[in-house]
Structure 1
Amino acid sequence: MNDSTGDLLHETLLHDTLHTHVRERDGDAGAHLVGLADGALRVARRRQRLTRAGAGVALAAAVATAWVAVADDGSPRAHVVQPAHRGDAAKATTVSLEPVTSAAEGRCTQGDGGYTVNATATQRAMCFHTDSAKGMRDIRVAAAKAENSTVDGGWHVEATLSSADRTRFATLTGSLASAPLPRNQFAIIIDGKLWGAPSVARSITVGRFEVSGYYVGDLTSATAHNLAQRLDPGR
Structure 2
Amino acid sequence: MNDSTEHPLRDALHAQVRESGGDAAGARLAGLADGALRMARRRQRLVRAGAGVAVAAAVATAWVAVPDGTTPRGHVVQPAAGDSNGKAALMSLLPVTSSTERACAPGSGGYTVPARATHPELCVRTDRAKGMTGVRVASAKAVKSSIDGAWQVEVTLNAADRARFAALTGSIAPAPAPRNEFAIVIDGKLWGNPYVNRSITGGRLEIVGSFVGDLTSAAVHDLAHRLDPGT
TM over 0.5: yes
Matched, 1:180 2:186: no
Instruction: Give the Cα separation in 2 of the matches to 1:94 and 1:163.
Output: 16
Instruction: Give the Cα separation in 1 of the matches to 2:179 and 2:104.
Output: 18
Instruction: Give the Cα separation in 1 of the matches to 2:175 and 2:119.
Output: 25
Pick the structure with more helix per residue: 1
Alignment check: 8 A CA contact 1:90 1:233 kept = no
> Aligned Cα RMSD in Å?
1.2
Which of 130, 134, 138 is matched with 2:130 structurally? 134
Unmatched tracts of structure 2, length 5 or more: 1-84
User: How much does 1:110 deviate?
Assistant: 1.4
Number of equivalenced pairs: 147
Cα gap change, 1:112 to 1:215, in 2 (>3 Å)? same
Matched, 1:91 2:87: yes
Instruction: Give the Cα separation in 2 of the matches to 1:91 and 1:131.
Output: 26
- Tell me which stretches of 4 or more aligned residues in structure 1 moved more than 3 Å: none
TM-score where L is the length of structure 2: 0.61
Matched, 1:108 2:108: no
3-state SS of 1:183 partner = coil
Instruction: Give the Cα separation in 1 of the matches to 2:182 and 2:98.
Output: 11
Q: Which amino acid aligns with 1:206?
A: G
3-state SS of 1:228 partner = helix
Which of 121, 126, 136 is matched with 1:125 structurally? 121
- The structure showing larger relative contact order (alpha-carbon pairs under 8 Å, at least 6 residues apart) is 2
Q: Which has the larger radius of gyration?
A: 1
Q: Which amino acid aligns with 1:134?
A: K
3-state SS of 1:167 partner = helix
TM-score where L is the length of structure 1: 0.60
Unmatched tracts of structure 1, length 5 or more: 1-88
User: How much does 1:233 deviate?
Assistant: 4.5
Matched, 1:209 2:209: no
Q: Determine the structure 1 residue equivalent to 2:186.
A: 190
Instruction: Give the Cα separation in 2 of the matches to 1:121 and 1:233.
Output: 37
Alignment check: 8 A CA contact 2:139 2:229 kept = no
Alignment check: 8 A CA contact 2:157 2:204 kept = yes
Q: Which amino acid aligns with 1:138?
A: G
Matched, 1:223 2:219: yes
Give the 5 Å matches for 1:137-152: 137-152=133-148
Q: Determine the structure 2 residue equivalent to 1:4.
A: none
Instruction: Give the Cα separation in 1 of the matches to 2:115 and 2:154.
Output: 25
Instruction: Give the Cα separation in 1 of the matches to 2:205 and 2:189.
Output: 17
Alignment check: 8 A CA contact 2:137 2:158 kept = yes
Instruction: Give the Cα separation in 1 of the matches to 2:210 and 2:170.
Output: 22
User: How much does 1:125 deviate?
Assistant: 2.0
